[in-house]
Amino acid sequence: MISRKRKQYIIKRAFQFKYTGTILFFIFLTAILSCGVVYFATFPYLSEKLANVYPQGRLTAVLGSAYTKLFLSTALMVPIAVWFGIILSHRVAGPWYRLENIIRGIAEGDHTLEVKLRKGDELQSLAGAINTLTKSLRDMGQENLEVLSLMDETLGALKGELEREPIDLMKAKLLLSKTQDTASELKALIKKYKLAPQ
């Protein structure tokens, strides 16, 4: 597998921003809950214990400064969280984008396409399934071409026989029977690959 370096990290904008937004939401929720728990758990205790050491106004300022630093450090984590969100979401969005393009190509009739994902990308099993599908379509196309070539050859021989004077009816019937057998084989292939309703 060829390892290609990522050039663009934002591929599926809506998905990646939603993913990153979800990460940020949970970071902020966790930070707010943690700060609230720390504040309500420590402030009354520290106020009571440190009331004799610090005057009440000074104690409030010290604790307020500590909580402000806690909130600022949480805010400084935002760019890091955004960066990780974009990088992690790209492991899904990149393959998703590539798979969409491959599937469009397959729908347009190009069955030579193959999905190649980077190591660490998500959706590896889906990529494998699509590669199996394209191989199956290539095999089906090859089998159909072989049967159609045989039918074309038989029809050419039948035409040649019908144009000859006198017509050898036995040979013409044999060629007609062979053409019908080939048509039946083609129908069986179509049923095998489930290209038509049963």
Q: Give the tens place of pLDDT for each residue, 77-135.
A: 778 878 888 888 888 888 888 888 898 988 888 888 888 888 888 888 889 999 998 88
Which pLDDT does position 2 carry in this prediction?
Answer: 43
User: Of 163, 115, 123, 171, whose CA–CA distance to 1 is shortest?
Assistant: 115
| pLDDT tens by residue, 132-150 | 988 888 888 888 888 888 8
Q: Please state whether the predicted TM-score (pTM) of the whole model is above 0.85.
A: no
**Residue 158 pLDDT more than 70?**
yes
For residues 25, 28, 34, 36, the Cα torsion angle rounded to the nearest 10 degrees is: -110
Percent of the chain with pLDDT over 90: 2
CA dist 52 and 71 (Å) reads 27
Q: With both helix axes pointing from N to C terminus, report the angle between 124-163 and 56-107 in degrees, rounded to the nearest 10.
A: 10
| pLDDT tens by residue, 160-175 | 877 888 878 888 888 8
CA dist 81 and 30 (Å) reads 13
User: Of 198, 193, 194, whose CA–CA distance to 140 is shortest?
Assistant: 193
Band of the pLDDT at 59, cuts 50, 70, 90?
low
CB atoms within 10 A of CB 102: 20
| Placement of tokens 């990529």 in the chain | 127
Which pLDDT does position 170 carry in this prediction?
Answer: 84
